[in-house]
Amino acid sequence: MSDDAPQLYLISPPQITPETFPEDLARLLDAAPVACLRLDLTSRDADTLLRACDAARAVTEPRDVALVLRDATEIAQRAGVDGVHLSGGARHVRAARKTLGADAIVGAFCGASRHDGMNSGEAGADYVSFGPVGGAAPAEGTLADDDLFAWWSEMIELPVVAEGGLSEDRIAALSPVSDFIALGEEVWSADDPAARLAQLHALF
């Protein structure tokens, strides 16, 4: 793998079982070099999220994998994880940075909006993610195309993540113009998630 290959960003399933998730997660983290795990849970219950953070951190911390929580800045602070991923673009980046401090990771999902990505960077985000990059276009917008990533990688220094609908072809196309490739359902839906993760990572 070349030095400029993108890093692997793993997205959790929308629901996990804290008692069994650590073992499942460990298999994936040992199958390929994951840089960051995003806990992307549907639940907004504080106790559920705190338990999930504890379960995940027991696996990520010994492996030096960053751990971020989606859209729950105060809980991320309470749980002591590495940061937060904001699904609403630039809107809450400044507030999250103020709450979590300069050393925390603050990421922002910006759909297919170059403008929102730039605003997120100006507000203090550490990375932006664009997507989905494959599959059906979302109801509220369009797919993030190759030109967006090519422009971003050439013009903007802020790291960019490609996520959503990543087929093998889309991974191959976006790897040269992305800093991170985010895989979630693409691996968790497989019969052997760890083997699928290793297989897809080899395409980077």
Domain boundaries, the chain: 7-201
Q: Which of 161, 118, 117, 151 is nearest to 11 (CA)?
A: 161
What is residue 172's DSSP assignment? H
Mean pLDDT computed over every residue of the chain: 96
For the chain, report the end-to-end CA distance as a whole number of angstroms. 7
- What pLDDT score does 3 carry? 58
Domain 7-201 = CATH 3.20.20.70:
yes
How many angstroms from the chain centroid is the CA of residue 119? Answer: 19
pTM: 0.96
pLDDT in tens, 140-150: 789 999 999 99
pLDDT in tens, 7-52: 999 999 999 999 999 999 999 999 999 999 999 999 999 999 999 9
- Asked whether the CA dihedral 61, 98, 161, 122 is positive or negative, the reply is negative
Contact call for residues 60 and 36 (beta carbons, < 8 A) = no
Residue 170, both tokens: 């889309």
Q: Which of 173, 198, 192, 191 is nearest to 183 (CA)?
A: 198
